[in-house]
Structure 1
Amino acid sequence: MDPVVIGLTFVAIFVVELPDKTFLATLVLATRYRPILVWIGVGLAFAVQTTVAVLLGHAVSFLPEEVVQAAAGVMFLLGAVILIREGRGHQAAEDEEVVTKDVSGHRAIVASFLVLFAAEWGDLSQLLTISLVAKYEQPVAVFIGALGALLVVSGLAVVAGRSLQRFVKLHVLHYIGAGVCLLLAAATAYELLT
Structure 2
Amino acid sequence: MDPLADLQDHIPNQSIYHSADFITRFVHAFAVSFLFIVVSELGDKTFFIAAILAMRRPRMIVFLGSIFALGLMHTFSVLVGMSAKLIPRYLTQTIASVLLLVFGGKMVYDGCRMKEGCEQEEFEEVKQEVSKGETGEDEAENGGNRITNGRIFLRRWISPVFLQAFTLTFLAEWGDRSQLTTIVLAAREEPFGITMGGILGHSICTGLAVLGGKFLSEKISTRTVTIIGGIVFIGFALYSFIYRNS
Give the SS at the match of 2:174: coil
1:71 aligns with 95
2:178 aligns with 125
1:51 aligns with 75
Distance (Å, rounded) in 2 between the aligned partners of 1:22 and 1:78:
22
User: Residue by residue, what CA displacement relative to the aligned partner does 1:139-167 show, whole Å, maximum 9, x if unpaired?
Assistant: 11110001110111111111122222333
Q: Report the aligned-residue RMSD.
A: 2.4
Quote how far apart the aligned CAs of 1:55 are.
Answer: 0.5
Distance (Å, rounded) in 2 between the aligned partners of 1:161 and 1:117:
19
Amino acid at match of 2:75: T
- 1:140 matches 2:176: no
Q: Which segments of structure 1 move beyond 6 Å, counting only runs of 4 or more?
A: none
After TM superposition, the structure 1 = structure 2 runs for residues 97-112 of structure 1, keeping only pairs within 5 Å, are 106-112=159-165
Q: Number of paired residues?
A: 191
Amino acid at match of 1:4: H
Determine which of 14, 23, 37 is the counterpart of 1:13. Answer: 37
Distance (Å, rounded) in 1 between the aligned partners of 2:53 and 2:236:
32
Amino acid at match of 1:127: L
Change (3 A) 1:140 1:172: same
- 1:177 matches 2:201: no
Quote how far apart the aligned CAs of 1:107 are.
Answer: 1.0
- 1:32 matches 2:85: no
Q: Which moved more, 1:169-178 or 1:28-37?
A: 28-37
Distance (Å, rounded) in 2 between the aligned partners of 1:11 and 1:47:
16
Quote how far apart the aligned CAs of 1:180 are.
Answer: 1.0
Quote how far apart the aligned CAs of 1:9 are.
Answer: 1.3
CA contact (8 A) 1:72 1:131 kept: yes
Determine which of 104, 108, 112 is the counterpart of 1:84. Answer: 108
Give the SS at the match of 1:135: coil
- TM-score, scaled to structure 1: 0.87
- Structure ranking higher in helix proportion: 2
Distance (Å, rounded) in 1 between the aligned partners of 2:217 and 2:163:
27
Quote how far apart the aligned CAs of 1:193 are.
Answer: 3.0
Distance (Å, rounded) in 1 between the aligned partners of 2:48 and 2:54:
10
